[in-house]
């Protein structure tokens, strides 16, 4: 790391706050938990005393775990950087009357410091996770056999896999943290045309229905499995791409028919925030659609080990979506406060502004949930008839995934609403 980056890292730790301490502890816990999950997946893919299942599922399930580490590390870093910059701006403004403050460090130096800090934290968490997994092996005899099989990896694990894990986890965390430290964007991100999402949904559903053979629902036509899985993937991607367009369309239509000041403010805010909420709402739509399909078309059997890859994917996608939703609300805080000041300057009351902000947050989520359930229900008929074997999960696993996804979404909404109400406190004191 360069000398400037080392100085920034020293200054960061010297002025660390509770937010920085929580972020470091959460980063280590995230890396440790992901390490335990990855070791369990390795044990399932390569059991020592039982016939080995197809390793494709467990190994593919490792990808969303690593992706979740990257996303959550980036979200935590971004929130901490925003808090740090806000604190530095307040201190700089307080010193402005006495002397000019020191120049802010460049994004390159700060990026290197944050990446180094995230990499060290993830390395410590990974080592702690390996040690915790070894301790879990001591309770292997007191847990169900299906869980005990996951704890069989320990000293028997091949050292190249452990070394790869020790290298991959800090590297992913460092890259994600560095990407979260960015300057102001000089160009707008490209937007998908609004007709692409619905066309993908229709094409995927049409492909699934054409593949289905009512005369022989128990089997697929020869070579139709890739087409069935591709059709289901097209439905999910199309539904995710449709969400921002649907939210913006509903906001524009609501604004055109609004009769009260707070409804007009809420509609305009919802329309403006549709693009920023595209990723968290899209991931939530995918997760809820998958568990809805599994709930309607899955096997009515108890939870089984074969359901682990899909459940783990849904769980990580839901967790990432909830974290992104909260991060978007926090990051749009300055723009939201500027809008509040503008509304107060033209005579709007504080309850009107607060109600508009909360409604603009809740309505997109309330639109996302029934849309995802509808898409999952439409895709469940071919799977129920046997024409599409994906996803083949037990209904209890799908129900558990639904509770997890909805619970995380509700928790993210409550936390985001608390942030919005906190931002309104200075306005109430000045009013």
Q: For 288-332, how does the pLDDT look when each residue is reduced to its tens digit (9 = 90+)? A: 998 888 888 766 667 666 677 788 888 899 999 999 999 888 888
Same domain, 63 and 22: yes
Number of domains within the chain = 2
Same domain, 163 and 274: no
Same domain, 139 and 240: no
pLDDT at 361 over 60: yes
Same domain, 33 and 122: yes
Rounded alpha-carbon distances, angstroms, from residue 12 to 3, 29, 84, 184, 335: 14, 21, 9, 21, 26
Residue 187 lies in a domain: no
Please give the Cα distance from 363 to 366 (Å, whole number).
Answer: 5
Answer with the residue of higher pLDDT: 167 or 50. Answer: 167
Answer with the residue of higher pLDDT: 110 or 420. Answer: 420
State which residues form the domain around 389.
Answer: 196-430
Q: What's the chain's length in residues?
A: 431
Please give the Cα distance from 420 to 150 (Å, whole number).
Answer: 42
Phi, psi dihedrals of residue 394, rounded to the nearest 5° = -75, 150
pLDDT at 283 over 90: yes
Looking at 149, 180, 211, the residue that finishes a domain is 180
pLDDT-based confidence at 378, cuts 50/70/90?
A: confident
Kindly report each contact of residues 404-408 with a partner whose C-beta sits within 8 Å and lies 24 or more positions away, as own/partner.
404/314, 404/315, 404/318, 405/284, 405/287, 405/288, 405/291, 405/314, 405/315, 405/318, 406/288, 406/369, 408/318, 408/319, 408/321, 408/322
Per-residue pLDDT at 363: 92
**CB-CB contact of 400 with 303 (8 Å):** yes
pLDDT-based confidence at 38, cuts 50/70/90?
A: confident
pLDDT at 146 over 60: no
- Which residue, among 49, 39, 27, has the nearest Cα to 132 in the 3D structure? 39
Residue 185 lies in a domain: no
Same domain, 174 and 222: no
pLDDT-based confidence at 430, cuts 50/70/90?
A: very low
Q: Which two tokens stand for residue 308?
A: 């682990």
Q: Which two tokens stand for residue 224?
A: 């139709």
Per-residue pLDDT at 141: 64
pLDDT at 6 over 60: no
Same domain, 176 and 201: no
Please give the Cα distance from 285 to 281 (Å, whole number).
Answer: 6
Same domain, 107 and 53: yes
Per-residue pLDDT at 95: 55
Residue 189 lies in a domain: no
Per-residue pLDDT at 56: 56
Looking at 117, 149, 180, the residue that finishes a domain is 180
Answer with the residue of higher pLDDT: 239 or 157. Answer: 239
pTM for the structure as a whole: 0.79
Residue 335 lies in a domain: yes
pLDDT-based confidence at 81, cuts 50/70/90?
A: confident
**CB-CB contact of 418 with 361 (8 Å):** no
According to DSSP H, which parts of 213-349 are helical?
A: 225-256, 261-273, 278-297, 308-331, 333-345
Same domain, 238 and 380: yes
Same domain, 83 and 226: no
Residues 6+ apart with CB under 8 A from 376: 288, 289, 290, 291, 292, 293, 295, 296
For the packed helices 107-136 and 3-14, what is the interaxial angle rounded to 10 degrees?
A: 70
Per-residue pLDDT at 136: 74
pLDDT-based confidence at 184, cuts 50/70/90?
A: very low
pLDDT-based confidence at 88, cuts 50/70/90?
A: low
Please give the Cα distance from 1 to 113 (Å, whole number).
Answer: 8
Same domain, 353 and 214: yes
Please report where in the chains the tokens 């360069």 appear, as a residue.
Answer: 2
DSSP 140: G
Looking at 146, 180, 214, the residue that finishes a domain is 180
Please give the Cα distance from 2 to 5 (Å, whole number).
Answer: 5
Residue 48 lies in a domain: yes
pLDDT at 61 over 80: no
Same domain, 222 and 339: yes
Per-residue pLDDT at 164: 82
Same domain, 23 and 154: yes
């Amino acid at each position: 790391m360069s000398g400037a980056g080392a100085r920034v890292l020293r200054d960061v730790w010297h002025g660390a706050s509770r937010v920085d301490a929580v972020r470091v502890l959460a980063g280590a816990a995230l890396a440790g938990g992901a390490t335990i999950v990855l070791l369990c997946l390795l044990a399932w893919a390569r059991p020592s005393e039982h016939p080995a299942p197809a390793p494709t599922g467990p190994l593919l399930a490792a990808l969303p775990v690593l992706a979740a580490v990257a996303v959550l590390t980036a979200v935590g870093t971004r929130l901490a950087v925003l808090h740090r910059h806000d604190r530095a701006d307040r201190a700089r403004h307080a010193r402005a009357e006495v002397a000019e403050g020191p120049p802010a460090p460049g994004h390159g130096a700060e990026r290197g410091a944050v990446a180094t800090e995230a990499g060290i934290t993830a390395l410590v968490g990974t080592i702690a996770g390996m040690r915790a997994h070894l301790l879990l092996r001591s309770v292997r005899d007191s847990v169900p056999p299906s869980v005990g099989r996951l704890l069989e990896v320990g000293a028997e694990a091949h050292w190249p896999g452990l070394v790869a894990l020790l290298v991959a986890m800090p590297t992913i965390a460092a890259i994600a943290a560095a990407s979260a430290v960015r300057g102001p964007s000089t160009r707008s991100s490209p937007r998908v045309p609004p007709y692409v999402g619905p066309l993908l949904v229709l094409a995927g559903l049409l492909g699934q229905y054409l593949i289905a053979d009512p005369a022989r629902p128990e089997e697929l036509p020869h070579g139709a499995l890739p087409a069935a899985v591709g059709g289901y993937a097209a439905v999910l991607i199309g539904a995710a791409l449709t969400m921002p367009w649907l939210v913006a369309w509903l906001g524009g239509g609501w604004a055109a028919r609004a009769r009260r000041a707070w409804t007009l403010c809420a509609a305009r805010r919802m329309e403006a925030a549709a693009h920023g909420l595209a990723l968290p709402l899209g991931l939530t739509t995918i997760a809820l659609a998958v568990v809805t399909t599994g709930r309607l078309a899955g096997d009515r059997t108890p939870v089984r080990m074969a359901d682990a890859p899909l459940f783990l994917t849904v769980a990580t996608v839901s967790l990432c979506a909830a974290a992104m939703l909260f991060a978007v609300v926090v990051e749009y805080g300055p723009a939201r406060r500027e809008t509040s000041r503008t509304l107060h300057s033209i005579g709007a009351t504080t309850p009107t502004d607060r109600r508009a902000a909360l409604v603009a947050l809740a309505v997109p989520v309330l639109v996302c949930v029934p849309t995802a359930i509808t898409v999952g229900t439409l895709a469940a008929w071919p799977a129920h008839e046997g024409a599409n074997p994906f996803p083949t999960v037990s209904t209890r696993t799908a129900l558990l995934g639904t509770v997890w996804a909805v619970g995380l979404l509700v928790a993210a909404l409550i936390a985001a609403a608390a942030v919005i109400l906190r931002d309104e406190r200075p306005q109430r004191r000045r009013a």
